[in-house]
Amino acid sequence: MDNDKTSLDRLEHCTICRSTGLGLLATVKDIPYWRCHSCLGTIMDPGHWPDLTRERAIYDLHNNDCTDPGYQQFLSRLAKPLARRLVPGSAGLDFGCGPGPALADMMTGAGLEMTVFDPIYFPDNAALECQYNFITCTEVAEHLHDPFGTFDCIDRCLLPGGWLGLMTCFQTDDSKFANWHYRRDPTHVVFYREATLATLASRFGWQMEVPCKDVALFYKPLYKPLS
C-alpha cells in the first residue's frame, strides 16, 4: 500500500475532469488504476505511462489500412451519424488521425472539407490555431495523458454551433476490467464511462448524445447559457 500511496501522491487530480477525489479501483499486474469519484473515469497510474518512443513503436505496429472495407465500416459508426448533422462543405479537423487518416478521407468523400492533426504523424500545430464546424476524435481519447487539457484545446478549435464526434470503448463492468482487451493495450492510459463523458460535456457546456455503442456526439451551442 505504500507504493500505491506514492502513486496517488503523484496523481494529484483526475486528468479528465480535474477533480481531486480519487480512489484505487484495481491493481493489475502491479499497475494501479485510479477511479475518479466525480466523473467515474479510470486512470492508469502515471508511473506506468509509456514514453513517446514506446508509444510510437506500438502505434507503428497498427495496420489501419485506409482502403480496408472492415476498417471503414468500423469508422462509419461515427462518420454516418456525424455527417447527418453537418452541412455539405463544412470544415472539419480529424484530431489524432494517426498515420493513415482514413476517417478524413471518408468525410471528404461525403462532401466535407478536412484538416488533419496528429502529435506524432501530422504534428502541424497550425491546424490547432484554426476553428472548425466539426472535429473528429476516434480511438484517441484513451491515449491522452491530459484529457482535460486536450478537450479544452478542442473546445477552442470548435466553432459555436459545431459538433465533436468521439469514439472510444466505454468502460462498463468493473469486474471485467482486469481482463478487458482495451485495458491490455499499454498505450491506453484512461478509460471513460458514458457518465464520464457526460461530466466532461457539462464542464465545457456541450450537449451530448450517444447514437450507438462507444460513440458520443457533442454539440457546442451557439450561445452559452447565462449563469
Domain ranges of the chain: 2-219
Q: Maximum Cα–Cα distance for the chain, whole Å? A: 57
- Please state the pTM of the whole predicted model: 0.92
SS3 14: coil
Tell me the CATH number for domain 2-219. 3.40.50.150
Residues 118-174: tens digit of each pLDDT: 999 999 999 999 999 999 999 999 999 999 999 999 999 999 999 999 999 999 999
Whole-number Å distance between alpha carbons of 138 and 146: 16
Report the candidate in 32, 20, 45, 14 with the shortest Cα–Cα distance to residue 196. Answer: 14
Could you say which DSSP state residue 118 is in? B
- pLDDT over 90, % of the chain: 83
> What percentage of the chain has pLDDT greater than the value 70?
93
Q: What whole-number distance in Å separates Cα of residue 42 and Cα of residue 182?
A: 12
- Which stretch of DSSP H or E encloses residue 186? none
pLDDT higher than 50, residue 9? no
- Condensed to tens digits (0 to 9), the pLDDT of residues 56-70 reads 999 888 766 677 788
